[in-house]
Structure 1
C-alpha cells in the first residue's frame, strides 16, 4: 500500500497541471486525462517589468491545453506522459510547455523530454503570485525546458529528491540540477538546490553559470509562509554575480477568498560596474473563487527596480502595475 502511495505522489508531481483535469478514458490499467485553462489577464498602467504602457491595457490573456496519461505495465511499474501547449492572445502559434514520457518504479521515476529542471520544486515555495518566479534565473533552474532527462524520487512521503540533465546541441551549453525537499510533520518544509550551465561565452572564455538555492515553507491551517534565497554567477565574460530573494505570505480568508503579500528582489553584480536591481517589488493580491472552475483576482505590483535600457528601448522601469484576471480551469 505504501509503495502505491509513493508512486502516486511522484506521478502527481510530474503531471501536475489543472487539478480539474477530466478523465476521458480509464480501463485495463490505462488512464487518459485532458485539462487546461483560459485566463484573461489585463495589465494596467505598466507592464510586469514596470515599463509604462502606451494606451489603456496590455493584454496578457492566455490559454493552455494539457493531455496526461499513465498505464500500468506490471506490478510496481507504470508508464506516464504529459503534453501541454500555451497560446497567448493575438498569437497564432502555440508555445510548447511540456512534452515528456517516463517510467515510474514504485515511486522512483525517470522521464525524458520537455519538463521542469530539479530546482523548480524549491523555487515553487514562493512562486505563488502573479509576478513571482524570480528563482528560475538560469536555464539550469527553469521550468518546462526541452531536452531534459530527469530522476524524481519520493521517500516515505517526506523526502523528495530530483536530478535533471539538459542536453543542448548548440554552443556546448548543457545544464544540470540537483534538489531535495524534506517535509517535517509540523507543516515545515525545507529545500535546497544546485543548478549549473556550461557556457561558451566567447572563444577565449568557457565559464560555468551556477545557482545555489535554499527554501523554507510553513503551512498552518489557512496560513502559508514561504521564503527562497539564491546566489550564483551568470557565467558571462564580465563575471556577473547575482542574488535573488522571494518572500511570500498567503492567508485563506474563506473557502472562496484568499490574500497574498510577496516581496521579490533580483540584484546583478557585474565586475567593475554598479549593482543593478533588475527586480525589486512588493506584490499585493486578492483572489476570489466562484467555484472550483472559475477564479477572479487583482494584483498590485509596486515596482522599485532600476531602469534598464537596451539601445533606445526601456526594458525595465519602476512604474507600478495593476493586473486584473479571470481564470476558467477545466
Structure 2
C-alpha cells in the first residue's frame, strides 16, 4: 500500500474508529457493512485509574463489533442504521470467565434518514457536543474527560434525537435532544466546527439537562485543532456546573485537554497529551479529578494493524474524596487490529 493511502486510513481511523468496515452485501441500493477491532491492552505499572497494581499486569483488552446498513430511497434520500457493542476481559484478572467475559456492552444503536449532507437519527448515540470533545480525545489509550461531566454532553446516550449537517465544505453543525424516560431529566446540546482553508478548525458547543432532585447541569465547550500533512494538534476547554461526577452538592467544573501527534514517513507516530480537570463543590475545596501527561509511540504495520507503548505520568494526589485514587504512573503495551 502506498504511504499516502496508509496515512489517509490512519487519519480516518482516529476520527471514526471504523474506517476499515467491509461491505458484505450490496443489492438494489441497499448495503451492509461489518467492522470492529480486537485490541490487547496490558498495564504493567499502575492501573489506568491511577490505583496501585499489586500484580504484574492489569489486562484491559477488548473487542468491538459493529454493523452498519444503508438503503437508497430516492436520488436525494437514504436511510441508515448502525449498531456497535464491546466485550472486555473479566475485571478480576483471574482465569475465570467473569461477568464481563461473557457480556457484550451496547455502545451505539441508532437509525436515521439522510439527504444532501443533512441527517436525522434516533437511538443510542453521541450528544452534539462530542464532536468538540473528540478534537482532543484521540490519544492512543486514555479517554478524554470533556464529555463525561454532564449527561447531555456525553457519548453513547440513550433516547437521543440528533441532527447533523455539513455546509460549504467547511462547517459541521450538530444538535441533539435527550428525551429521557425519567422525570425531569431531559437535555439538549448544540455545536459547530468551522474548518478554515489552511487547516485550522474552530469549535463551540453548549449542552444542558435537568437533574431531577439535584442541580440542573450546563456545559460550555470550545476547541481548536490544526492539521498539516502528518501533524495534528488540538486543545479543548470546558466549564459548567452540575457535574454528574459529584451529585451530593452544587458544583462547578473546568477542564482542558491538549494533544499533538506526528506521523512520520516510516509509519511511526509520536503522541503527547495533557489533561486536567477539577470540580469546585459549593462550600468545599476544589477536587482534581484528572491531571496527567501521556507519551505514546505507535507503529502502523499497515492500515489494519498497529502496536503502541504509552507512559502515563499521573499527577493526582490521593485525598479524602472518593473521586481520587492513588496517583501511580502507568505503562501500557498494546496491539490493535482493525477490521
CA distance in 2, matches of 1:306, 1:118: 33
Counterpart secondary structure, 1:136 = helix
**Secondary structure of the structure 2 residue equivalent to 1:45:** coil
From 216, 220, 232, the counterpart of 1:212: 220
Q: Report the alpha carbon displacement of residue 278 of structure 1 after superposing the two structures with TM.
A: 0.8
Does residue 1:41 correspond to 2:53, yes or no?
A: no
Contact 2:316 2:324 in 1 (8 A): no
Superposition RMSD in Å:
1.8
Could you give the per-residue CA deviations for residues 215-255 of structure 1, whole angstroms, max 9, x where no partner exists?
00011111111000000012645221010100111111225
Q: 1:9: which partner in 2? A: none
TM-score (norm 2): 0.88
Aligned to 1:317: 326
Residues 79-98 of structure 1: pairs in structure 2 closer than 5 A: 79-90=79-90, 91=100, 92-98=102-108
1:289 deviates by: 0.9
Q: Which of residues 232, 235, 241 is equivalent to 2:240? A: 232
- Larger strand percent: 1
Deviations 1:271-319 (A, max 9, x none): 12111111000000010011121110011110011325567xx852211
Give how far 1:58 is off: 0.9
Q: Are 2:289 and 2:324, in contact at CA under 8 Å, matched by a contact in 1?
A: no
Is the aligned partner of 1:135 residue 2:143?
no
Asked whether the 8 Å contact 2:313–2:329 carries over to 1, the reply is yes
| Match of residue 123, structure 1, among 91, 116, 133 | 133
Compared CA separation, residues 237 and 309, structure 1 to 2 (3 A): closer
Q: What is the CA–CA distance in structure 2 between the aligned matches of 1:286 and 1:225, rounded to whole Å?
A: 16
Counterpart selection for 2:201 from 153, 175, 189: 189
Q: Distance in 2 between matches of 1:186 and 1:210?
A: 33
**Secondary structure of the corresponding residue to residue 83 of structure 1:** strand
Note if contact 1:288-1:296 (Cα within 8 Å) is conserved in structure 2: yes
Residues of 1 paired with 2:319 and 2:267: CA distance? 39
Q: Distance in 1 between matches of 2:253 and 2:266?
A: 39
CA distance in 1, matches of 2:151, 2:64: 22
Give runs of aligned pairs for residues 1-330 of structure 1, distance below 5 A.
16-90=16-90, 91=100, 92-129=102-139, 130-137=141-148, 138-201=150-213, 206-234=214-242, 236=247, 238-308=249-319, 316-330=325-339
The answer as to whether partners of 2:176 and 2:189 remain within 8 angstroms in 1 is yes
Q: What is residue 4 of structure 1 aligned with on the other side?
A: none
User: Gaps (5+ residues) in structure 2?
Assistant: 1-11, 91-99
Residue pair 1:183, 1:189 contacting (<8 A) in 2 also: yes
1:207 counterpart SS class: coil
Task: State how many pairs are aligned.
Answer: 312
C-alpha contact (below 8 Å) 1:60/1:88 kept by paired residues:
yes
Contact persistence 1:309–1:316 (CA under 8 A): no
Write the deviation string for residues 14-64 of structure 1: whole angstroms up to 9, x where unpaired.
Answer: x94411111101122111100011100011221112111121111100000
- Stretch deviating more after TM superposition (136-145 or 182-191): 136-145
Structure 1 unaligned regions, length at least 5: 1-11
What's the TM-score, normalizing by structure 1? 0.90
For residues 62 and 237 of structure 1, the distance between their equivalents in structure 2, rounded to whole angstroms, comes to 33
Cα distance in 1, alignment partners of residues 30 and 16 from structure 2: 18
